[in-house]
């Protein structure tokens, strides 16, 4: 399953109804952002984030630590929690495991992530091990603080950088806590060159983690990485990539990514992706909008609806990629699926 990211309780530019039309079953919200605005009191008053954003399907909330460390250069971490300066008025604030869970209880998300201590993927030395052990201690504090374990599933997050021994130790410790699902963290960010190392980290974790519980690769979102990670046994993914890249005019297709800002699309009156069943590409005669590459080229980065079109197409692409992976696994045809995916991507005709 791929989870599109609705950081501020919205997938930028598209409505909850449109997201349902894509048959999206679960989206991701960020505790850090919703905790600042609308804030805990508003969330309690309205009765949680499902009601707030008119979304009856599932929500997963990330716990906040990763967002602070990636967004705020000034965040510092102690055993107590993550210290940061309020983006509103610059006053010092502290996000503890207990506070993150309390916010996620108010949000009412279906999947709650533990607060973890995240270090950049390429970090080396004792800081990686410190973050790994601290994430284990913070999971215990999160579990103790969680008020709704029957209705909100808490997931542990494996850390340990690129060190196989630390990853293994972390998996063993987290599994003892017996959470309903487990995430593989510390894979996101940094340069693309690390993808080989990340594949190793996913492999090391999925080899150990129980196959009967969801295994979630956090922040993984390029199509190739999704397909490879599914092959390694991962079940769940999230990434801002498909929605963010849409705003730069990029369409994700089975033959690769097309930048529709390029001049030669000005006279391309074909669909964004031939054969795509999304509401944007589908012809009018089949109930779609029949939007052309030339039209998106004309709009994108100038008129917001151009980005909305590509957002819908890209999210559909990611959801469909994972739907087909699921169907292939069920039909016992997953190797054929992987082969077709890479042959389209590398040998296909744009
Ligand atoms: N999003 C991407 N990677 C991570 C991670 O390691 N931890 C958390 N909490 N969120 C993430
Ligand atoms: Zn499409």
Ligand 2 ion: residues within 5 Å (CB): 273, 276, 278, 280-281, 313
Rounded to the nearest angstrom, the distance between the alpha carbon of 335 and the centre of ligand 1 is 29
Cα atoms in the 13 Å half-sphere on the side-chain side of 185:
30
Residues within 6 Å of ligand 1 by CB: 62-63, 65-66, 113, 116, 118, 157, 185-186, 188, 218-219
Length of the chain: 350
Q: Ligand 1: which residue has its CA nearest to atom 4? A: 185
Q: Is ipTM > 0.95 here?
A: yes
Rounded to the nearest angstrom, the distance between the alpha carbon of 190 and the centre of ligand 1 is 13
Rounded to the nearest angstrom, the distance between the alpha carbon of 114 and the centre of ligand 1 is 10
CA distance 18 to 289: 13
Query: Residue 216 CA: which ligand is closest?
Result: 1
Q: Please report where in the chains the tokens 């939007």 appear, as a residue.
A: 291
Q: Which residues are catalytic?
A: 62, 238
User: In tens digits, what is the pLDDT along the chain, a chain of 350 residues?
Assistant: 999 999 999 999 899 999 999 999 999 999 999 999 999 999 999 999 999 999 999 999 999 988 877 777 678 999 999 998 887 788 888 999 999 999 999 999 999 999 999 988 888 899 999 999 999 999 999 999 999 999 999 999 999 998 999 999 999 999 999 999 999 999 886 656 567 678 889 999 999 999 999 999 999 999 999 999 999 999 999 999 999 999 999 999 999 999 999 999 999 999 999 999 999 999 999 999 999 999 999 999 899 999 999 999 999 999 999 999 999 999 999 999 999 999 999 986 55
Compute the CA torsion angle 215, 241, 42, 65 (nearest 10 deg): 60
């Amino acid at each position: 399953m791929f989870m599109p990211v609705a950081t501020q309780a919205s997938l930028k530019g598209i409505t909850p109804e449109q997201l349902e039309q894509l048959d999206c079953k679960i989206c991701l919200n960020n505790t850090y952002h919703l905790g600042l605005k609308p804030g805990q009191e508003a969330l309690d008053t309205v009765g949680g984030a499902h009601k707030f954003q008119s979304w009856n399907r599932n929500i997963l909330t990330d716990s906040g630590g990763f967002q602070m460390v990636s967004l705020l250069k000034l965040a510092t971490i102690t055993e107590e929690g993550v210290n940061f300066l309020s983006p509103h008025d610059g006053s010092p604030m502290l996000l503890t495991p207990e506070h993150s869970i309390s916010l996620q209880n108010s949000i009412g998300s279906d999947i709650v992530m533990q607060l973890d201590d995240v270090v950049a993927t390429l970090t080396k030395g004792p800081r990686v091990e410190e973050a790994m052990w601290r994430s284990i201690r913070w999971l215990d504090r999160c579990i103790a603080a969680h008020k709704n374990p029957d209705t909100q599933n808490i997931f542990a997050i494996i850390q340990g950088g690129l060190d196989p021994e630390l990853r293994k130790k972390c998996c063993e410790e987290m599994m003892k806590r017996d959470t309903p699902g487990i995430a593989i963290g510390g894979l996101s960010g940094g340069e693309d060159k690390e993808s080989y190392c990340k594949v190793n980290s996913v492999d090391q974790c999925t080899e150990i983690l129980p196959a009967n519980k969801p295994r979630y690769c956090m922040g993984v979102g390029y199509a190739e990485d999704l397909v490879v990670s599914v092959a390694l046994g991962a079940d769940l993914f999230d990434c801002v990539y498909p929605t963010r890249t849409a705003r730069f005019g990029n369409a994700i297709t089975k033959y690769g990514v097309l930048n529709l800002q390029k001049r030669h699309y000005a006279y391309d009156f074909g669909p964004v992706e031939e054969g795509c069943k999304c509401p944007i590409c589908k012809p009018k005669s089949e109930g779609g909008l029949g939007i052309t590459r030339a039209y998106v080229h004309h709009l994108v980065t100038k008129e917001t609806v151009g980005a909305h079109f590509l957002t819908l197409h890209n999210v559909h692409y990611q959801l469909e990629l994972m739907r087909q992976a699921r169907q292939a696994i069920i039909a016992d045809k997953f190797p054929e699926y992987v082969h077709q995916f890479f042959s389209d991507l590398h040998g296909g005709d744009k």
